[in-house]
């Protein structure tokens, strides 16, 4: 670490160590969001950003002109170790599964946006992430609002998936408060913008396939279902849909609560759960919309209940921010003992 002697914007201390950070996968959708956030962050210095292609010429990212003036280099694990204290991995699962343990072994702290290290149960992990052979000691699941204590100490943070973040922020407070009727179905009907699939086009994400259309995918077989069940400790029915938006994610969640439970009672549960959470906004019966949260790190949650005990919770976020890079920076802030909102509001 290097030390600066004048306070950076948003900092109060006279001399704070500047943490050197790097982004691997910086040419991808989440990687570019990371560059945008980290280039303006008051307490870290972005020292390295990598693409995948080895030996290719330097590339530019036109969208980041005047925001970040660095250049992209091909991925080189040794350069990451040399030039960074903390590394963000915004790579495909297989690339991360191989790279992250080495970086942790080299003494770096790592925040991984892929799914490679999110699932704790080895058999479940082998089904969804077969390339992950071992999870390094000191790995934490980084759903920040519920995991601050373990994230603070972690060597490797497995940043949650976008659907799990949306769903678990809405469901965990109800489960923890015992508000979900035992044995009743939990149904998550979720919609994501196309950037959720990353930048490499496929038949499903091709403009002429998804423009003007909505489709379900991964029905009864999406790996984020396993991650949500891990976080909730119970079975869920999870159906993702692709909608013709570039970014944003909305989950409509159907649960059963005791008959007579009021909207105020659910509101109290949520207020208690998120009293110290800058990035969860509770909107109650007015119900949130994707437009309110795109380009922010907020997750907005609203709910309605009828007297029979049918409760519907709607949760929205930006898949590239609170669902990925924003939450990753939030986790970095916790790991470094900074204000959790630094560089994010
Ligand atoms: N998109 C989302 O909403 C979202 C949300 C949460 C989590 N995630 C996860 O975050 C990770 C990144 O997602 P993304 O959507 O940003 O992906 P993306 O747009 O496809 O970008 C992938 C990045 O990884 C690089 N890359 C590809 N193969 C590589 C390899 N073998 N070795 C090194 N670098 C390689 C690419 O470099 P080149 O440009 O050189 O090909 C690019 O920079 C994924 O694991 C994804 O599951 C994504």
Domain containing 11 — which CATH number? 3.40.50.720
At residue 249's C-alpha, the angle toward residues 246 and 252, to 5°, is 145
How far is Cα 60 from Cα 248, in angstroms, rounded to an integer? 26
pLDDT in tens, the chain (345 residues): 444 333 343 344 446 678 999 999 999 999 999 999 999 999 999 999 999 877 666 677 889 999 998 889 999 999 999 999 999 999 999 999 999 999 999 999 999 999 999 999 999 999 999 999 999 999 999 999 999 999 999 999 999 999 999 999 999 999 999 999 999 999 999 999 999 999 998 988 999 999 999 999 999 999 999 999 999 999 999 999 999 999 999 999 999 999 999 999 999 999 999 999 999 999 999 999 999 999 999 999 999 999 999 999 999 999 999 999 999 999 999 999 999 999 999
Q: How many residues does the chain have?
A: 345
User: Cβ neighbours of residue 63 under 8 Å, at least 6 residues apart?
Assistant: 32
210 is catalytic: no
Residue 2 has a pLDDT of 42
CA distances from 343 to 6, 44, 117, 296, 332 (A): 18, 10, 26, 11, 11
How many Å is the maximal CA-CA distance in the chain?
Answer: 65
pLDDT value at residue 135: 95
**Alpha carbon of 63 to ligand 1 centroid (Å):** 17
Outline where 107-213 has alpha helix (H). 122-128, 144-153, 162-176, 207-210
Residue 340 included in any domain: no
**Structure tokens belonging to residue 319:** 């898949």
Residues 156 and 18 both lie in one domain:
yes
Question: Which among 6, 105, 17 has a CA at the least distance from the CA of 336?
Answer: 17
Query: Which pLDDT value is given to residue 169?
Result: 98
Dist CA 196 CA 324 (whole Å): 10
The verdict on 108 and 14 lying in the same domain is: yes
129 lines ligand 1 (CB under 6 A): no
Query: Is there an atom of ligand 1 within 6 Å of 165 CB?
Result: no
262 in a domain, yes or no?
A: yes
Whether residue 178 is found in the same domain as residue 305: yes
Which 3 state secondary structure label does DSSP give 209? helix
**What does the alpha-carbon distance between residue 308 and residue 35 come to, in Å, rounded to a whole number?**
48
Q: Are 74 and 40 part of one and the same domain?
A: yes
What is the DSSP secondary-structure string of 77-109?
HHHHHHH-SEEEE-S-HHHHHHHHHHHHHTT-E
Residue 178 CB partners (closer than 8 Å, separation 6+): none
- pTM value? 0.95
Helix (H, G, I), strand (E, B) or coil at 212: coil
- Output the pLDDT for position 3: 41
Q: What is the pLDDT of residue 43?
A: 96
pLDDT of residue 59: 75
Phi and psi angles of residue 88, each rounded to the nearest 5 degrees, phi first: -95, 130
Same domain, 156 and 7: yes
| 178 and 80 housed in the same domain | no
> Is the shortest distance between the CB of 53 and ligand 1 below 6 Å?
yes
CB of 138 closer than 8 Å to CB of 156: yes
254 with 145, same domain? no
Q: Is there a single domain that holds both residue 96 and residue 185? A: no
Ligand 1: residue whose CA is nearest its atom 17:
198
Q: What is the pLDDT of residue 15?
A: 63
Please provide the DSSP assignment of 163-177 as one string: HHHHHHHHHHHHHHT
Residue 130 lies in a domain: yes
Select which of 157, 162, 179, 280 is catalytic. Answer: 162
Distance CA 210, CA 203 (A): 9
Which residue lies with its CA nearest to atom 33 of ligand 1? 52
In the chain, how many domains are there? 2
**200 assigned to some structural domain:** yes
How far apart, in whole angstroms, are the C-alpha atoms of residue 317 and residue 166? 7
The predicted structure's pLDDT at residue 60: 78
Q: Is residue 341 part of a domain?
A: no
Residue 121 within a domain: yes
Nearest CA to ligand 1 atom 46: 114
- Name residues whose C-beta falls within 8 Å of residue 281's C-beta, 6 or more positions apart in sequence: 288, 298, 299, 300, 301
Is the residue at 344 inside a domain?
no
The pair phi, psi for residue 41, each rounded to 5°, is -70, 135
Question: Which residue, among 26, 52, 51, has the nearest Cα to 39 in the 3D structure?
Answer: 26
Same domain (yes/no): 95, 62 = yes
> How confident is the model at residue 58, as a pLDDT?
67
Q: Determine whether the shortest distance from the Cβ of 113 to ligand 1 is under 6 A.
A: yes
Best mutation site among 92, 111, 249 for ligand 1 pocket (most ligand atoms within 8 Å of CB) = 92
Structural domain containing residue 74: 2-160+324-335
Distance 51 CA to ligand 1 centre (A): 9
Q: What is the CATH number of the domain that holds 303?
A: 3.30.360.10
Rounded (10°) CA dihedral 195, 95, 144, 42:
-80
List residues bridging with 16 in a β-sheet: 4
Is there a single domain that holds both residue 27 and residue 101?
yes
CA of 25 to the centre of ligand 1 (A): 6
Q: How far apart are the first and last CA of the chain?
A: 25
Same domain, 314 and 174: yes
* 283 assigned to some structural domain: yes
The answer on 244 and 175 residing in a single domain is yes
Let me know the angle formed at the C-alpha of 203 by 201 and 205, rounded to the nearest 5 degrees.
55
Tell me which residue has its CA closest to atom 39 in ligand 1.
27
């Amino acid at each position: 670490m290097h030390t600066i002697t004048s306070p950076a914007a948003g900092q109060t201390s006279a001399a704070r160590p500047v943490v050197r950070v790097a982004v691997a996968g910086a040419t991808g959708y989440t990687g570019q969001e990371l560059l945008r956030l980290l280039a303006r962050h008051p307490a870290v210095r972005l020292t390295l950003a990598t693409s995948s292609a080895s030996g290719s010429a330097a590339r530019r990212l036109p969208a980041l002109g005047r925001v970040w003036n660095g250049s992209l280099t091909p991925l080189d694990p040794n350069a990451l170790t040399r030039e960074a204290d903390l590394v963000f991995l915004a790579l495909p699962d297989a690339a991360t599964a191989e790279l992250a343990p080495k970086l942790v072994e080299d003494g770096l702290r790592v925040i991984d946006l892929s799914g490679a290290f999110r699932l704790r149960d080895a058999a479940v992990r082998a089904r969804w992430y077969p390339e992950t052979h071992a999870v390094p000691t000191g790995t934490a699941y980084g759903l920040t609002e519920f995991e601050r204590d373990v994230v603070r100490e972690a060597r490797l943070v497995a940043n949650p998936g976008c659907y799990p973040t949306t769903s678990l922020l809405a469901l965990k407070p109800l489960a923890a408060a015992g508000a979900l009727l035992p044995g009743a179905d939990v149904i998550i009907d979720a919609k994501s913008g196309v950037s959720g699939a990353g930048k490499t086009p496929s038949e499903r994400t091709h403009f002429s396939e998804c423009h003007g259309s909505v489709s379900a995918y991964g029905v009864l077989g999406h790996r984020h279902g396993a991650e949500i069940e891990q976080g909730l400790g119970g079975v869920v029915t999870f159906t993702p849909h692709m909608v013709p938006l570039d970014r944003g994610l909305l989950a409509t969640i159907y649960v059963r609560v005791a008959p007579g439970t009021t909207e105020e009672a659910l509101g109290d549960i949520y207020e208690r759960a998120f009293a110290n959470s800058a990035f969860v906004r509770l909107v109650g019966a007015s119900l949130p919309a994707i437009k309110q949260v795109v380009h922010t790190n907020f997750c907005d949650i609203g709910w309605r209940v009828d007297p029979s005990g049918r409760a519907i919770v709607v949760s929205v976020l930006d898949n590239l921010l609170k669902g990925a890079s924003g939450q990753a920076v939030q986790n970095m802030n916790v790991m470094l003992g900074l204000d959790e909102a630094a560089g994010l509001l």
